[in-house]
Structure 1
């Protein structure tokens, strides 16, 4: 998802990615594809792949937000997470070394303004500091959390 972006995607520094879920017995299988920003499908599971030139490392990087991650996890599993479960999962995500972006953080003003401006497939819930994670960790993080919590006593609870 980090390659071959259209000029429109580059202009808004975001690619909308649609995920599809299928279940077979106890397995969840997911596939995904880039969505044309003009099409804007009405229903589906969407995650924003955010482009940001990281001034500290001086290289291009792609990110997802914790909000998108939790929404994707809920959509793939079909389980509504409680606030406590979301907080526990956020703590588990710390190993991926997130970057906190916000209004008053000098290095992240641009990406924060972008996040606040997106109306379709919003990658955030509120105007507050947001944690972003490198895109390359998304699938591993989903797999890790599902495996970590699927062995719990109640299988329908993460």
Structure 2
């Protein structure tokens, strides 16, 4: 069972001036496995702290979209976090596609190059601006390549993790990480 130790909505509170200007907060996740649970904690970190954690616990981005006054996470970051929580270094393409299908029932937006603007019935200028903002982020990058990208409201992150991790069995015998056993 996935247990997140505090509400993920805490990440949307008390942003620094730098985070407000850049519309991005880095979130460091940590976890440990007990006999029955995968216990997850998280905290915001400053961009200058990133190199210290780069090879360790997963760091993803909470991205603020000023036009909509909402916080988002990319599908790329969700999959990356799932890889780390499951103890898998990198899911293969088949597994990533399976995860994307599991996430389809959650409300999402597809952002990308101008050809996709009409999919969301949103202001094309604002969509393009938000897409370019996400593409401009340096490491850790919340995207792989400059292409269409699915984004989810930050408030749906826990549901996304529960939904996907609930499809798997885990070997919780290792104290630090869970081993995916599908």
TM class by shorter chain equals 0.7 to 0.9
- Whether the 8 Å contact between 2:102 and 2:163 is mirrored in structure 1 is no
- Whether the 8 Å contact between 1:103 and 1:113 is mirrored in structure 2 is no
Correspondence list, 1:9-24, <5 A = 9-24=19-34
Residue in 2 that maps onto 1:117:
136
TM-score by length of 1: 0.88
Stretches of structure 1 lacking an aligned partner (at least 5 in a row): none
Correspondence list, 1:1-158, <5 A = 1-40=11-50, 41-43=52-54, 44-54=57-67, 59-79=68-88, 80-104=90-114, 105=117, 106=124, 107-150=126-169, 156-158=180-182
d(CA) in 1 for partners of 2:34, 2:135: 37
Stretches of structure 2 lacking an aligned partner (at least 5 in a row): 1-10, 118-123, 171-178
d(CA) in 2 for partners of 1:112, 1:103: 8
Return the offset for 1:27.
Answer: 2.3
Q: Which is bigger in relative contact order (C-alpha 8 A, separation at least 6)?
A: 2
Q: Figure out how many residues of one structure are paired with residues of the other and give that number.
A: 151
d(CA) in 1 for partners of 2:110, 2:140: 20
TM-score by length of 2: 0.77
